[in-house]
Chains A and B, each alone.
Chain A
């Protein structure tokens, strides 16, 4: 990951790259905070939520509708987007979480694919795309810019990056120093034993679903602005970039997830100006994720228990 930054330092035109670095860091920030949301939920419930992007996309569409088809204040739309994420995620967790609790992580993940399909269907049905029609969800913070190290930065980009760092710091502290955070870690270790210790497992899991959902909503709010258009399909599958970040962090370390997310964002953005490979830059998250997965799974362990399906 460092090689990308090192490359930029070694004698290549800084000025040229600045806008891409800014965009890369901002995007990377959103990937990183999504990654953190995914990791914490996985730790607390064992569910790798592949519907993360779809939830954000749906929230963004609702915000879009509120802004363009009602006279309600814009801030309400933004709040709704974030809250929607929390509510939908929580609903799924309350409704389906217990049913999947005893199954293995693969099956739990497939359940979230079901959720993603349902959301995609709803979005395609009620918010069809066609031809030249495009949706936009600009945030007020984007209209304010300033210069940093000679590069133009708008406040949305700053929010994305700062929020990512802040979330990582707060969540790490939360997991280490609060009772609820300790409960998360205990459940991640062994759900059954934690329950016998008197920890209200269901309630703790519900809080994880809700918190993770809020992050999904926030990501859904920031991305259309950073990417300049609201494409719900693209937003849904950006979960893969977030997943790449989470996998780089081995689904454990939040700080490495943060760095991984920034690396993925930077890689994607820095390939943009090169005509020969720019079309392939969206593949950066996938390639990085594959490399991370293979590197992390070098040692193979055979489980000596019968697979429960």
Chain B
């Protein structure tokens, strides 16, 4: 469970997140909202790239904001990025194994865990292959593998299917749906593809202008008038 309380972020004269209060109960949770609603900023606060002006975030009982940014990954906070950020110079294995190298966990089970993560996402390239030589689909899978290796507690997925064709999105959907069961982690999925959100997420929260405007079971939220208005604008505009 992740509890966000009164989170506020300000920089360069804008307030991307404005008093955000939300609870992500567990399993796979969706986080949607129109462009500029603050979703990626929220992820950046979780990752430690952005310092909030106010508010707190507790995940599984721990105060996330008090942890140093690099420690959060070791604690179990993992993430993928909007534009995929796998390290081209390194091999698939090294990319996925990096979290092990820097978590103080001794290397005994490392190879098995890394291979398990690679198999889980359905990546068929040899582990020693350089990521730079792989295509967009494989790179995205490497990123996801890196996010689920070992014992993740929270997995943040930022538009993982962006730019991928239909069959790849299907494959990704199956992978995402399996994460909570396989690893016991809480997944937060940000995406604009509503069918993906509907398929994967039991609950969904909706942001608009940095504030929460709806949360609850996905089907209900997607029918909510406020949500539709946020995406499409008000009818009175005519």
A interface residue numbers (CB < 8 A to B): 301-302, 304-306
Interface size on B, residues (CB 8 A): 7
CB A166 to nearest CB in B, in angstroms, measures 33
Complex: how many Å from CA A302 to CA B44? 10
Complex: how many Å from CA A302 to CA B43? 13
Residues of A within 8 A of B40 (CB): 304
A306:B49 contact, CB within 8 angstroms: no
CB B228 to nearest CB in A, in angstroms, measures 30
Max chain B Cβ within 10 angstroms of own Cβ: one of A301, A302, A304, A305: A304
A-B contact pairs, 10 of them (CB 8 A): A301-B49, A302-B49, A304-B40, A304-B44, A304-B49, A304-B81, A304-B82, A305-B83, A306-B83, A306-B85
Residues of A within 8 A of B83 (CB): 305-306
Of all chain B residues, which has the CB nearest A303? B49
CB B193 to nearest CB in A, in angstroms, measures 21
Residues of B within 8 A of A306 (CB): 83, 85
Which chain B residues numbered 137 to 154 have a C-beta less than 8 Å away from chain A?
none
CB A119 to nearest CB in B, in angstroms, measures 36
Number of A-B contacts (CB under 8 A): 10
CB B9 to nearest CB in A, in angstroms, measures 13
Which chain B residues numbered 49 to 107 have a C-beta less than 8 Å away from chain A?
49, 81-83, 85
Complex: how many Å from CA A306 to CA B131? 15
Of all chain A residues, which has the CB nearest B51? A299
Complex: how many Å from CA A304 to CA B45? 12
Residues of B within 8 A of A305 (CB): 83
Interface code B150-194, partner A: CB below 8 Å = 1, 0 otherwise? 000000000000000000000000000000000000000000000
Complex: how many Å from CA A72 to CA B83? 63
CB A40 to nearest CB in B, in angstroms, measures 23
CB B135 to nearest CB in A, in angstroms, measures 17
CB B90 to nearest CB in A, in angstroms, measures 14
Complex: how many Å from CA A81 to CA B85? 50
CB A201 to nearest CB in B, in angstroms, measures 24
CB B128 to nearest CB in A, in angstroms, measures 23
5 further A-B contacts with Cβ under 8 Å, apart from A304-B82, A305-B83, are: A301-B49, A304-B40, A304-B44, A304-B49, A306-B85
Complex: how many Å from CA A30 to CA B85? 46
Complex: how many Å from CA A305 to CA B85? 9
